[in-house]
Amino acid sequence: MGKIYAVANQKGGVGKTTTSVNLAASLSATKRKVLLVDLDPQGNATMGSGIDKNELEQTIYDVLLGKVNISDVIKPSPEGRYDVVPANGDLTAAEVELLSVQDKERSLRRALQTIDNIYDYVIIDCPPSLNMLTVNALAACNGVIIPMQCEYYALEGLSALVNTINTIQSVLNPDLKIEGILRTMFDPRNSLTGDVSAQLATHFGDRVYRTCVPRNVRLAEAPSYGLPVLAYDKQSKGALAYLALAGEIIRRNDTTEALATAS
């Protein structure tokens, strides 16, 4: 299988779903085959991909409980040119019902293994909490992309997330790592933005993406039309930022693979 990335941060409102949808669309625009997995009961990534969550007969909920194969629920994003494993409010019950499932932490991992080698990238949009759904995402992925605002409280939340990632790595997924930290809603005019960016660079080095996603009206408007920003306004600053992020991720992967081949 290609790379599997969980987009996670237990703090709400930092741009997880925006990043998941627009990164999927941007990677797809580079001719990569992409699957977006909506693991949030709010179903915002589903709606933002142009799929009506209220009309779904089967979702990721059914997949996690082993009722259907993941290939049975995959739907194409009409404008995004990527595939989606959708979600809706049914997923709220999954955490309780998963208690009776054997090896429940790896339910998503098992499901994704059945579509091995079909996709170049799988992007998992996580809920804004460190619950069983997020644990499933972290157990299934190669790396975590962490969107965060350059604010003081965001740094505190980042510490808790890093501890969770380390725990999952030691118990469930030894290959898990922080793939990158993405600064969202970025405003270079704010002095705190510079201070937090400097702290991130000190602690995480080159794992902080060079790409920053600015505050952008078009980026905020696109979900209401069920579109990634690339399909809504491809010349907007938001669209250009996520294209740049996709390019940065692809270059990192190419470099890593080249080094692995050489060694």
pLDDT exceeding 90 applies to what percent of the chain?
A: 77
pLDDT digits (tens, 9 = 90+) for 192-244: 888 889 889 998 999 999 999 999 999 999 999 999 999 999 999 999 999 99
pLDDT digits (tens, 9 = 90+) for 86-138: 999 999 998 889 888 889 999 999 999 999 889 999 999 999 988 999 999 99
List the one residue out of 38, 52, 54 whose CA is nearest residue 127. Answer: 38
pLDDT at site 100: 85
Question: For the whole prediction, is pTM greater than 0.75?
Answer: yes
Tokens (6 digits) for 175: 């290959």
Tokens (6 digits) for 188: 């270079």
pLDDT digits (tens, 9 = 90+) for 23-73: 999 999 999 999 999 999 999 999 999 999 999 999 999 999 999 999 999
Between strands 34-38 and 3-7, the pairing is unpaired
Distance CA 49, CA 51 (A): 6
pLDDT at site 1: 65
CB 71 within 8 A of CB 97: no
CATH class, 3-262 region: alpha beta
Instruction: Give the start-to-end residue ranges of the domains of the chain.
Output: 3-262
How many residues belong to the chain?
Answer: 263
Between strands 177-186 and 143-148, the pairing is parallel
